[in-house]
Amino acid sequence: MPDIIHLLPDNIANQIAAGEVIQRPASAVKELLENAVDAGATEIKLIVNDGGKALIQVIDNGKGMSETDARMAFERHATSKINKIDDLFRIRTMGFRGEALASIAAVAQVELKTKRAEDVSGVFLQVENSVVIRQEPVALEGGTNIAMKNLFFNVPARRNFLKSNAAELRHIVEEFIRVAMAFPEILFSFVYNSQELYHLTKGSLKQRIVQVFGNSVNAKLMSINEQTDYLNITGFVGKPETAKKTRGDQYFFVNNRFIKSPYLHHAIMNAFSELIPRDSFPLYALFIELNPELVDINVHPTKQEIKFEDEKLIYAFVQAAVKHALAQFSVTPTLDFELDSTIQQLDAVSKPITPEKEAALSGKQLYQTFTQKNQAHFIEKRSDLKHWKDLYPELRSENKDVVLPGTQNDLYTGKDEAPKEVLEMIQFHNTYIALQNTTGVLFIHQQNAHERILYERYLSAILNKPVTAQQDMFPATLELTTSDALILRELLPDLNLLGFKLELFGKDTFIVQSVPADLVLGNVKALIENLIEQYKHFSVDLKVNKRERLLQSIAHQNSIKAGESLSLKEMQVLVHDLFQCDMPATSPGGKPVFIEFRKEELDKMTGR
């Protein structure tokens, strides 16, 4: 029998490595930018075309490479950062594994121009499928200019998994900001499809944060500067009013390397507890500096997940630093109520229940009385809503003459008459609408119901005919961050169909000419900003496409909210319109709209 184990060819081995290192265009951007930083560059320019699929180019004024080093840079595990194994535990540079250029050259067509200051001429290399196909001298001032074209041109299956250009661009922007945030002393520029998206001049960290997030955050930043023998923590945290419903403005750096750490994020959220809603996230850019030997950054190919020697200690330091900043800027409450110490001494608090005690208690009659099945208010979960039309036969009319509600402030635009089915119903907790049907009682969540109504209305508008728009006499000017402006540009075609008319006015500025006619004109700027935030919130669901996310966002933004008082007429219209929907049982986000309690179930609960 012949031997069956053999070494992989270099080009295949490099493609396998590329699967770990170069997952999408943004991965290549990260590697190339970090190489430019390590080269000592003071000016770095990123050029991207078509979501990074056609071109990713990084130009820097760093120290450049010799002809031999340029050739070696494309070999696997070739690096200038490590000479002996101990060097792995003292790493302070960005790229060090020696896999980036080899991986890029395995899945893209690469052109490299580089020159050291002391050399007369530079070198030009053209690499394809991990093979140098062209090499020649080139005139160059100094530094490195590397371009990768046609990403995954030789791995079509991988290329098919890439998202739209707009989606890939957002990931590239994320990686660009992470590197630029860590090195405010370097000038970074970013040109996309011949348009400059970012021009970040050299300056302080605060200036860099303001350049990225806009002037609106300038007065809302709290500085952090904690120096200890174990570590140093510096950076900025946004005041509670900077908190958003979506993640994205949170940055952790360890020894100037961006990391993802849900554990340390939890420390910051704890520091902000009771200052912001539970589902909100504050802005922060924190830099932790400590001995590299106390950190293991070699646990993941992207080096964004790391391990600390003592995680609990780091957690305590971070939480204390943020609390100190909040107190220093008079954000935290001045009153501090402590729990009565005598309560802590009680056995019920200090001594947990043992299995023996639990077994003894569970056999007693009093315990049995309060088990779930014996509770008078126990309700069995119902999942059978297939025959929802039978729940409310009074509303199965084909009559469509009731105008769909537009916003919480105008449920009856254009109509004064009540719907034909005038039914008795009641609202409680300003959230639920209760009404009797032929078989029992329905409880309808007003916000979930209205979101369903609006969603189907907007969907119909996009598929059939555009919504009528109303023009504002004084068009609003909307200034956004670059990342939010990219999202809004992507949404413009569908927004136009829904009655929003926005015009680009400069790089990241829009003029809002009109909004849907059924919206009450008010703070249009806040409406659009909230719409973008909602869109980002819904975008975490990968099963939902761009258009569905947009419709869910607008429906949520304009819906009647829980806690709003409704008149009888408003409740009647809402219920009527709900049961004219194609899918009234769930909200666009999949939440239940109503629960039914059948009479026989109520009888059973009350022992009748």
Would you state the pLDDT for residue 283? 93
Among 203, 229, 256, the domain-final residue is 203
Assess whether 113 and 163 both reside in one domain. Answer: yes
Does the pLDDT value for residue 533 go beyond 60?
Answer: yes
Mean pLDDT (whole number) for 147-151:
94
Would you state the pLDDT for residue 494? 83
Assess whether 509 and 411 both reside in one domain. Answer: yes
Assess whether 589 and 466 both reside in one domain. Answer: yes
Mean pLDDT (whole number) for 427-433:
92
Q: Tokens 């189907």 map to which residue?
A: 456
Q: 366 lies in a domain?
A: no
Q: Is 359 helix (H, G, I), strand (E, B) or coil?
A: helix
Instruction: Report d(CA 102, CA 75) in Å as an integer.
Output: 6
Among 328, 346, 370, the domain-final residue is 328
Mean pLDDT (whole number) for 224-228:
93
> How buried is 86 (Cβ within 10 angstroms: 0-12 exposed, 13-18 middle, 19+ buried)?
exposed
Assess whether 66 and 139 both reside in one domain. Answer: yes
Would you state the pLDDT for residue 46? 98
Q: 302 lies in a domain?
A: yes
Read off the DSSP letter of residue 90: G
Does the pLDDT value for residue 212 go beyond 70?
Answer: yes
Q: 359 lies in a domain?
A: no
Would you state the pLDDT for residue 236? 96
Assess whether 214 and 88 both reside in one domain. Answer: no
CATH number at residue 498: 3.30.1370.100
Q: 151 lies in a domain?
A: yes
Q: Which residues, at least 6 apart from 242, have a Cβ–Cβ distance to it below 8 Å?
A: 217, 220, 249, 282, 283
Would you state the pLDDT for residue 176? 97
Number of domains in the chain: 3
Does the pLDDT value for residue 165 go beyond 60?
Answer: yes
Mean pLDDT (whole number) for 429-448:
89
Task: Encode pLDDT of 35-45 as tens digits.
Answer: 999 999 999 99
Distances (CA, A) of 446 to 143, 185, 339, 451, 593: 62, 52, 39, 9, 8
CATH number at residue 297: 3.30.230.10
For 284-331, give the DSSP string. EEEEEEE-GGGEE-TTSTTS-S-EES-HHHHHHHHHHHHHHHHHHTT-
Would you state the pLDDT for residue 359? 59
Question: Are 525 and 472 spatial neighbours (Cβ–Cβ below 8 Å)?
Answer: no
Question: Are 512 and 478 spatial neighbours (Cβ–Cβ below 8 Å)?
Answer: yes
Instruction: Report d(CA 182, CA 209) in Å as an integer.
Output: 10
Mean pLDDT (whole number) for 457-473:
74
Predicted confidence band of residue 522 (pLDDT cuts 50, 70, 90): low
Range(s) of the domain holding residue 551: 388-597
Q: Which helix (H) or strand (E) holds 136?
A: strand 131-138
**Residue type at 322?**
V
Mean pLDDT (whole number) for 196-223:
93
Mean pLDDT (whole number) for 539-563:
76
Q: 602 lies in a domain?
A: no
Would you state the pLDDT for residue 130? 83
Instruction: Report d(CA 519, CA 556) in Å as an integer.
Output: 14
Does the pLDDT value for residue 29 go beyond 60?
Answer: yes
Mean pLDDT (whole number) for 70-85:
65
Assess whether 441 and 547 both reside in one domain. Answer: yes
Instruction: Report d(CA 107, CA 110) in Å as an integer.
Output: 9
Q: 263 lies in a domain?
A: yes
Instruction: Report d(CA 264, CA 290) in Å as an integer.
Output: 15
Assess whether 138 and 56 both reside in one domain. Answer: yes
Q: 554 lies in a domain?
A: yes
Extract the tokens encoding 346: 């009680």
Would you state the pLDDT for residue 310? 84
Assess whether 555 and 430 both reside in one domain. Answer: yes
Would you state the pLDDT for residue 261? 87
Predicted confidence band of residue 375 (pLDDT cuts 50, 70, 90): very low
Task: Encode pLDDT of 190-202 as tens digits.
Answer: 999 999 999 999 9
Assess whether 563 and 473 both reside in one domain. Answer: yes
Mean pLDDT (whole number) for 524-553:
74
Among 180, 203, 226, the domain-final residue is 203
Helices (H), 48-144: 67-72, 100-107
Instruction: Report d(CA 578, CA 448) in Å as an integer.
Output: 10
Question: Are 452 and 581 spatial neighbours (Cβ–Cβ below 8 Å)?
Answer: yes
Q: 4 lies in a domain?
A: no
Q: Is 135 helix (H, G, I), strand (E, B) or coil?
A: strand
Assess whether 88 and 198 both reside in one domain. Answer: yes
Instruction: Report d(CA 333, CA 325) in Å as an integer.
Output: 13
Assess whether 394 and 537 both reside in one domain. Answer: yes
Instruction: Report d(CA 562, CA 110) in Å as an integer.
Output: 56
Would you state the pLDDT for residue 599? 86
Of 465 and 97, more confident: 465
What rounded mean pLDDT belongs to the chain? 79
CATH number at residue 178: 3.30.565.10
Assess whether 149 and 283 both reside in one domain. Answer: no
Extract the tokens encoding 136: 């020649």
Question: Are 81 and 93 spatial neighbours (Cβ–Cβ below 8 Å)?
Answer: yes
**Residue type at 117?**
A
